[in-house]
Structure 1
Amino acid sequence: MSETLELGWEEWVGLPDLALPAIKAKVDTGARTSALHAVAVEPFGTDKNPQVRFIMHPNPDDPAIEVICSAKVIDRRMVTSSNGVAESRYVIRTPIEIGGQSWPIDVSLTNRETMGYRMLIGRSALKKGVSVSPGQSFCQPKLEFDLYKKKSRKGGVKSRPLRIGILTQEPKNYSNRRMIEAAEARGHVIETIPTSRCFMAINNEKPEVHYNGKALPRYDAIIPRIGSKITFYGMAVVRQFESMGVYCVNPAIAIGSSRDKLLAHQILSQHKLGMPNTAFARSSRDTEGIIDLVGGSPVVVKLLESTQGKGVILADSRKAATALVDAFRGLDAHFLVQEFVKEANGSDIRCFTVDGKVVGAMMRTAKAGEFRSNIHQGGTGRKVRLTKEERAVAIKAAKALRLNVAGVDILRSDTGPKILEVNSSPGLEGIEKATGKDIAATIIECIENNVGTVFHSPVKKPRKRVIKKKT
């Protein structure tokens, strides 16, 4: 048996799945269908999973409150407005809350900027047991627009589908496939974007990222998976998305800091984090000096822009180290010299951090005759239990470099954990197979927890013209 509910001709309602806790709506039994104010309406998704994204300004008197909404499209139909104009509208289904009761309604999206109410509730939206008293208003409890002030810019948006983009040159690799699977399993739409094919319109009015001759749509989030060969250009694309207000899992400045091994080590040292003794010099006259600074041979020589263990060489003797350093200088290459931590015995620990937590860890062991433990260099991985200190070091390192998603590589030395490297695009295959954990889903959950929904944009007031009186 349905509960009775009396409504007046105007009521306060909430649409919780759209992050709209308070809307002043007009109840009109003369209208068959319901309508909701929406601007910047953008369809996305596939034919099998059509979605729509739009912006809602719930308070007609305060355009600074802007709510980004998205929902599944159930229909697209021609609707004739009260002034006799027919238009094609997207129709969504969403729960409505009035007076402590909730039920699903179908509502079309249209621009109601000139209307007195941001929402119109027609008779088809009234469930059994609901009656309307046309001569009364606000029969149910009143709400306030102040509810939007309590909503954080980052409050979690698990109730609505997100449009997510992966910036990548390798759309079919394991990591990208897994994140696509995880996002779709949680009801989101996710697309790969070729980083090198993006180009940018840089201006202060409407910054855009273009691809294939067209401006890309507004994404809720971007996952940067930028190849090391296009770091500079990839960072520029990420910065452009940031300027558009898009949440980027790892910001451009963090990617740049982690990719520059010298800068990364300098930042880590500023945060008092342990690492192998490291030296850097330019002049050939300082070769002996930097070898001595790291404790003498054997030493590890690393190219500053190396990844996946490439460009990392072990010099067993002082003579070999000197020859290697001189050879790199002859190629005008930038490199670091580090101490070789012998007691690590060709193993290191990859700690995978997401949103300030270690969500997985594996011990990587180099193949026979090799000192590099990278999976890409033939190393093997197995699940490992971290010490309290190792966990704290990994979290602190990711935070120091401002990375929300990171792979922190740690050596177990006689003097405690030492950080080898912090990776801004860590692969998922090794860590997921070693730990059995769904790391991809954890990354998508991080996005859900950090994507903004309610924004309070400052509205510029027109400057008053001052007329000087003649004296």
Structure 2
Amino acid sequence: MKGFIIYSRKENELTEKRDYSVSRLMAAAKAKGIDLDIITPNQLELVVTRSDKKSILIDNKPTSIPDFVIPRLGSDTTYYAFAVIRQLEHLGVYVCNGADSIAAVKDKLHMHQLLAYSNLPTPKTMLVKFPVDIKVVRREIGFPLVIKNVTGTQGSGIYLCESEEKFTDIMELVYSNNEKANIILQECVQTSLGRDLRAFVLGGRVIGCMKRSSDVSFKANFSRGGHVEAFEPTPEIEWLATETARLANLDIAGIDLLFDHDGYKICEANSAPGFHGMEKAIGKHIAEDILDYITLKTGINAGR
């Protein structure tokens, strides 16, 4: 069984701390007898032809298409990487997750539209239009509020803004640097400041759930120093997580939930979720579960 991980760094550049999830997948594949290689987008040449549907160009050499591909670029997926992933899908390769699913999750506003129009609980969200009308922001969102880049991961590009004065200063700074910046505003769910939940969904079921918390920041990401502990998923958590993954057609998903007064709100979805914190909280089995799921989906024996 042959597979590729599409990632930003080659195998000899990986470190356990920075690239934990990819390193774990590589080790688990080796233990299972799966031939798994890391391919960066820059190694691939995209040639669209109807004559050869059994190979692709890697480092300028024709290479047989793999049985499966795991994209691990998440919100950093470029247009070129999307094109490569779509090409592999057209060639009949099983891609976990597909290009359309990654694109849907990468655009945070689109994802919130999808969730809200499916009647799922999410923070009230507003797209910024420059120049910003502070009266509309005050009326529709209120303060404090959360400012987010439309794309971003691991807590990057997310800011808590407590007052109108700070908000005006931040928007002026953003506008002066990029008047076409895509920024969204969200209501601040104050009952969840400094804590949230991450549910790991694989193949339509929750295989792990953890609570993340921080003593120093309103962002509780493990990658930013947050504390993690196992959390028993309730039926509500399982439904919100699996339904979010289903709407975006994600085989693998990290679904972040906020603690609300009477339940939970969906914060965001991740198409290439890291699982260092999850395995620290619940034990090491996420990488193995992913590969077992892919083996089941493709119907190919791991050692083939």
Question: What is the TM-score with the length of structure 2 in the denominator?
Answer: 0.91
CA contact (8 A) 1:291 1:337 kept: no
For residue 313 of structure 1, what is the amino acid of its counterpart?
A: Y
Is structure 2 residue 207 aligned with structure 1 residue 359? yes
CA contact (8 A) 2:256 2:267 kept: yes
For residue 184 of structure 2, what is the amino acid of its counterpart?
A: L
Deviation track 1:359-406 (CA, whole Å, cap 9, x = no partner) reads 0011111232x1111112221211111221011100000111110000
CA distance in 2, matches of 1:181, 1:371: 34
CA distance in 1, matches of 2:134, 2:47: 46
Is structure 2 residue 255 aligned with structure 1 residue 416? no
Is structure 2 residue 179 aligned with structure 1 residue 340? no
CA distance in 2, matches of 1:241, 1:385: 37
For residue 243 of structure 2, what is the amino acid of its counterpart?
A: K
1:174 aligns to what? 20
CA distance in 2, matches of 1:260, 1:242: 21
Distance 1:343 1:216, change over 3 A: same
1:239 aligns to what? 86
CA distance in 2, matches of 1:269, 1:396: 12
Deviation track 1:183-211 (CA, whole Å, cap 9, x = no partner) reads 22222211111123211111223255312
Which 10-residue stretch deviates more, 374-383 or 307-316?
Answer: 374-383
| Structure of larger gyration radius | 1
CA distance in 1, matches of 2:79, 2:183: 18
- Identify which of structures 1 and 2 has the higher relative contact order when contacts are C-alpha pairs closer than 8 Å and 6+ apart: 2
CA contact (8 A) 1:298 1:317 kept: yes
C-alpha deviation, 1:227, in angstroms: 5.4
Distance 1:291 1:443, change over 3 A: farther
CA distance in 1, matches of 2:276, 2:156: 19
Which 10-residue stretch deviates more, 318-327 or 430-439?
Answer: 318-327
Is structure 2 residue 166 aligned with structure 1 residue 327? no
C-alpha deviation, 1:292, in angstroms: 2.3
CA distance in 1, matches of 2:246, 2:269: 11
Considering fraction of residues, name the structure with more strand: 1
Query: Aligned to 1:376, which of 223, 245, 249?
Result: 223
SS where residue 427 of structure 1 aligns?
coil
Is structure 2 residue 35 aligned with structure 1 residue 189? yes
For residue 420 of structure 1, what is the amino acid of its counterpart?
A: C
Query: Aligned to 2:57, which of 186, 210, 213?
Result: 210
CA distance in 2, matches of 1:184, 1:291: 55
Structure 1: 5+ residue runs without aligned partners?
1-161, 454-471
Query: Aligned to 1:263, which of 110, 113, 133?
Result: 110
Equivalence map 1:75-114=2 (5 Å): none
CA contact (8 A) 2:41 2:81 kept: yes
CA contact (8 A) 1:303 1:335 kept: yes
Is structure 2 residue 128 aligned with structure 1 residue 286? no
CA distance in 1, matches of 2:195, 2:26: 31
Is structure 2 residue 156 aligned with structure 1 residue 310? yes
Distance 1:291 1:315, change over 3 A: same
C-alpha deviation, 1:228, in angstroms: 3.6
For residue 401 of structure 1, what is the amino acid of its counterpart?
A: A
Question: What is the TM-score with the length of structure 1 in the denominator?
Answer: 0.59
CA contact (8 A) 1:408 1:422 kept: yes
Deviation track 1:335-358 (CA, whole Å, cap 9, x = no partner) reads 110011111131010100000000
CA distance in 1, matches of 2:73, 2:103: 11
- Among all aligned residue pairs of Structure 1 and Structure 2, give the percentage whose two residues are the same amino acid: 33
Moved over 4 A (4+): none
Distance 1:403 1:340, change over 3 A: same
Deviation track 1:5-39 (CA, whole Å, cap 9, x = no partner) reads xxxxxxxxxxxxxxxxxxxxxxxxxxxxxxxxxxx
2:274 aligns to what? 427
CA distance in 1, matches of 2:267, 2:296: 30
CA contact (8 A) 2:74 2:270 kept: no
CA contact (8 A) 1:328 1:334 kept: no
1:298 aligns to what? 144
CA distance in 1, matches of 2:3, 2:132: 51
Structure 2: 5+ residue runs without aligned partners?
none
For residue 169 of structure 1, what is the amino acid of its counterpart?
A: S
- Size of the aligned set, in residue pairs, is 290
SS where residue 71 of structure 2 aligns?
strand
CA contact (8 A) 2:128 2:182 kept: no
Distance 1:291 1:219, change over 3 A: farther
